[in-house]
Every structure is written in C-alpha cells, then in structure tokens.
Structure 1
C-alpha cells in the first residue's frame, strides 16, 4: 500500500522542484502537488492523506488555514510546514496543528526522514487508528499546578522560573522541545536541554502561546486534573533519578540534561491516556502508553534517541507505574547495559 502525501504551495516552480527532489519515493508514496490553499482544502475534504506538507504564505487561504482545516477534520498522520521566511503571527497559528516546521530551502533527506518516521514508528504496537488518534491531539493538558506555575513565571518575567515549570511537566516539556527542535521561531536546535529550549523559543512567544491555549491545555475535570498531577509527579521523579544516575556515570552536563528530558517525556503517554476515550485508555494500558509517548515524540521532531529508548521500554519489565523501575530501565539502555539499538 502506498502512502498518500499532499504537498501544497502557491508557486508552481516550488511544486515542480519538490516533484523532482522526491522522485526516488514514487514507488512507495502516492504524491499529489496542490497549487494554493483553496485547492488544497477542497482536495483534503475529499481524500484521506497520510501526510500533509504545506507552505505558509499563500494568498486567500494561507498555510495556517489549511492546517486548521486538516487538524479539525483529523486529516493526516503528520502535518508539516515547509516555508520560507516565517511570520510570527502566522506561525503561532500553526502550533499544535502542525508537528514539524522546515525552512526553505529544505534538505530533502530530513523531510523524507520525518515523513517516513511517522509511518514506521511503533507500527507493530499502535494500530493505524490509534496512530491517527494520537497524531491529531493538538494540545495536551497539564495539571492545574503547572498552569499556576506558568502564570507565576510569566507574571514575574523570570526565565529561570519558566524553565523550572517546563521541567516539571511532561506535556509542557514536549511542546517546548518541539518548538526548539524545529524552525517555528528560529533556527532549530538538536537539543533535549529544557533550559536551552526555553531560552531558544523565548519567554514572550511562550507567554503568547499559553494565553491562546496552544502551549498547554487545561484539564477538563477534577478527576483528570488529579491523574495529571499524579503522572507529573512520577515523571519528575523518573527524570530526577535518571539525572542522578547520569551524574554517577560521570557523563557531561549535557548528557545529564538529556537523561532528565527522556525520563520526563516517557510519561507523555500517560497524559494522552488520561484525557482519551475509554477505548483509547484500554488500548494504551501500561506498555501502550509508553508506545504512545515514543510515537508522539517522533512526530514532534524529538531527536531519534528519544523514541529509540522508549520503544525499547515497550519490551522491558520496568515500564509500568513505578518511577524507579522506569528510570532503571532507561538507564540500562542509555548506558549500554543492554543492547538497545
């Protein structure tokens, strides 16, 4: 079965260039090249694309409107922006509705890798239906205590307080690292350092995204809030144990931060599970939640080592409800105590 990919741009020369660049994928992808946002929305409404790659600045119907339509109608397992000079207000509207942002001119290898990863990551564990469900969550929720910490940090204007808030919530960390590792608001950084990611994106942009609900959603009920608070505590405990373990290994500060972020992000699946349907909660029980975390990290452009370690956890004993077990298992992989990849 060929995957169906839609490429959208208002410039015919750009579309012809993409067609040439991606000629090697003709046997595995069915590709359509759509001129302009209006044509794109009409086509998307009648088809089920596996991936959508769109320019931003287009007359009448811009890329943000295309992505808004696609996200609201749950179209595409991965939605990518491929654009030139970014307009901050326009780009801000794509946060949550897109998974990654590539600047023109784009290295076709990176673009191909991002699209293919969305199809192959966790395919043996997550059904296509579950993949589509996870990929169409626009903004994950955070516990009330996280929102309180964000409000305090933005009011004080303290970048240190903001970094601390991000470092204590897996869903929030995922969003900030997604923005820093892609070209949304500047040059992308291949980083898992939460402090660096916050600094890279900037407090002003993060405040704007929080005010519009694109940074972190609010919990729908008190019950969900309680679950989110519990998973947040487990995520932080896992991350702190991994950071301490890394220090004992004598690795660099960057490696310690790397381990902290992976421990924190490994609980994103439980956040997804807590706010999902009954069917989703059943499907993502225990190991399925770790798989969902691996998948959403892959979609969001996290460095490949994140998903690789999490995919290993799916087959490990220590990926259930214990922070200590999960930290130990991640440590076993990260420090070559087992063959992981």
Structure 2
C-alpha cells in the first residue's frame, strides 16, 4: 500500500504519540498490545481522548484476558497475530471508504470517537440487576439484552473480535453470550462499563423507545422474509441481526442531535423522505452512519452493505447481489413505518421491484406481502 497510504512506524507508544502531537492526527493507528512502559490500551485511550477521529486498531498476539478486555473501549478492532496483510488492509480500508461519503467532518469525528451506544433506562436497570443476581444465566441475560438495540450491537461487536476466534460470528445475543462467557460480560458491564444508559433530553426518550420497538419488529420480519425466500436457518438468523442493527445510525442521531432530529420529522413526506432530510441536516443518513459504525467494529461486509444501501439497493457495489440487502430492503419497504413521524409516507423506501428481479427475489414478493400483513411474522430469537 506504499503508493496509496503514508505509513509511519515507531518502536514505542510514547514515541508514536509524540510524533502525532507534533505532526497532527492520523487517519488510523495500529498498535501492539504488550509493550514496555505504555501498553496498547493506554496508547489508544490517549488517541481516543486527544484525536477522536482516528480509527484505532489493536494487532497483537497477547492473549491475557484481563489485558484484552481493557481494549474494548479504546480500540475499534482487535486483530490477532498472525494476521495476513490482506486482512489488515481490509480492516483499515472498509471503514475509511464509508467515512469518505459523510460530508460533515464533525460527524465523522464524533462517530470515530464514540465509545458506546445509549440503552433504554429501564432495560439498563434490568441488565445490571440480573448480572448481579446469583441466579443469572446466559439465557436470562441474553433475553434482556435482546430487547435493547444498543446492548445487542455492543455485545455482537465484542464477538467480532479476533480474540474470541469464533468460526462463525454470533448472530444473536444468546450465541454471543455463550461464546464470550457470562463472567466476561459481567466484568465488561459492571466493571468496565460496556453499556451506557441513555441520559438525553426527556423528550428524546419516546423516540428511542419507538425506535427500539421498530427495530425488534423489523428484525423478526427480516428473519421471516429470509425463511420465506428459502434461506437456511443460519442465514435467517443473520437477517434477524441485520434488521435489528439496521437503525443504529438513527440511535446515534437521536442521542447526539435529538432536538434537531425532532425538527425534521414533521417535514417528512413523499417529496422529502427521511433519509434525504437526514443527509441534508446531518451530513449522512442513518443507513450510512450505522454501516460506518458496523464496518468500524468488524461486522461482516454483507451485513454492513445491507445496512448502508437498504433504502437504495441498486447503489450497492457489484450490483448489490446480497440476500441480506434484498431481505432488509423488502422488510423496510413493505413493513410498518418506524412510528417516529406522524406520517407513513417518506419514512420507508419505495419497493424496488426491478432490483429484486435482478437478484432473483421478486418472485417472493407476494409471499412477503402476506407475511408482513400477518401479526405472526415476528420470527424467532
């Protein structure tokens, strides 16, 4: 990548930080974990504090759990040695490509500097109490996490880490909990603060609650549509996960710009769809914001692509031949609106039958419509 990237190498954390202070922030920093004097977690925490727009990556063969868990906050990605050059290149290039599409530099910086997402206060209280209970189990904890958009995203983000070396990334909170272990989650939530309670304006809380209900419903519908299309059960679970995470960009906007977000909702209509108003107001629509975060956190490229292009699937690279994208687009276009605005028109994309025909899904639309209209199309968790 010498012809495309400017790269700089340093023998220690303090040396790298001194260079950044003298020359200005960099787009990406890749640090080892175990180093004398200042370890990788300390280096990346300093970069997060002083230069929040920098993408932060740990590349290490050090496997002591207590040290690794300290990187959960400051590191966007944990890559395990040995790591191929191609894997490192992709981990760096994917989020940067999405970031370039955001027109507001302040938004790019805020997203990269984001440490965690806000959870519903009621659910946050429940999860803390359950994790402190001697009767807590993976199943009981997962059932609570599955009801909250932010907690689901944070937990699944954790299992994308190369440290856990999962053969297949977890698609549900229960799978994730079984992979990382209940004790690890207790440490992260109660000791390190993996989850964060929403503390915005009281007027923003109803929007967050409505968004959570919508995301849960959308997840079930994505799973149901995937199964109706003949997808195997494993892919249907990933479709469920895709639907659940597809609006984390909206969650970010409500958390950071709740008052401004409320002002655009009355303006939503056919001529001014929600995604266009978000782009004009914030420099990026919710799909791109969510895709950027998911890409930054190491989620599968097919899931990231689906979230990024769900409103306009024909804009996806390589024609968008991605079953997750087709199912999410169908669930959004055919299903109920997010209930954030007073109108339905403009709060969901128009169904692109031409795109669905091109990717071989158009014949399933009648079955999808029947499922969407049925009250029993929530899928399973």
TM-score range, shorter chain: 0.7 to 0.9
Over 3 Å counting, the alpha-carbon distance change for 1:116 and 1:273 in structure 2 is same
State the match for 1:272 in structure 2.
252
Over 3 Å counting, the alpha-carbon distance change for 1:330 and 1:52 in structure 2 is farther
Over 3 Å counting, the alpha-carbon distance change for 1:307 and 1:28 in structure 2 is same
**Aligned residue among 22, 31, 47 for 1:70:** 47
Q: Is 1:305 aligned with 2:302? A: yes
SS at match of 2:57: strand
Q: Give me the whole-angstrom Cα distance separating, in 1, the residues matched to 2:58 and 2:352.
A: 32
State the match for 1:199 in structure 2.
178
How far off its partner does 1:279 sit? Answer: 9.8
Q: How does 1:1-341 map to 2 (within 5 A)?
A: 25-46=1-22, 47-121=24-98, 123-154=100-131, 155=133, 156-184=135-163, 186-194=164-172, 195-212=174-191, 214-221=193-200, 222-277=202-257, 281=261, 288-315=285-312, 318=332, 322-323=337-338, 336-337=360-361
Q: Give me the whole-angstrom Cα distance separating, in 2, the residues matched to 1:110 and 1:122.
A: 19
2:31–2:40 CA contact under 8 A, matched in 1: yes
TM-score by length of 2: 0.74
TM-score by length of 1: 0.82
- CA deviations on 1:262-282 (whole Å, 9 max, x unpaired) are 001011011111111479857
Higher Cα radius of gyration? 2
How far off its partner does 1:116 sit? Answer: 0.6
**Unmatched 5+ stretches in structure 1:** 1-24
Q: Give me the whole-angstrom Cα distance separating, in 1, the residues matched to 2:148 and 2:356.
A: 23
RMSD of aligned alpha carbons: 3.1
How far off its partner does 1:314 sit? Answer: 4.1
SS at match of 1:34: coil
Over 3 Å counting, the alpha-carbon distance change for 1:330 and 1:197 in structure 2 is farther
How far off its partner does 1:93 sit? Answer: 1.7
How far off its partner does 1:311 sit? Answer: 2.0
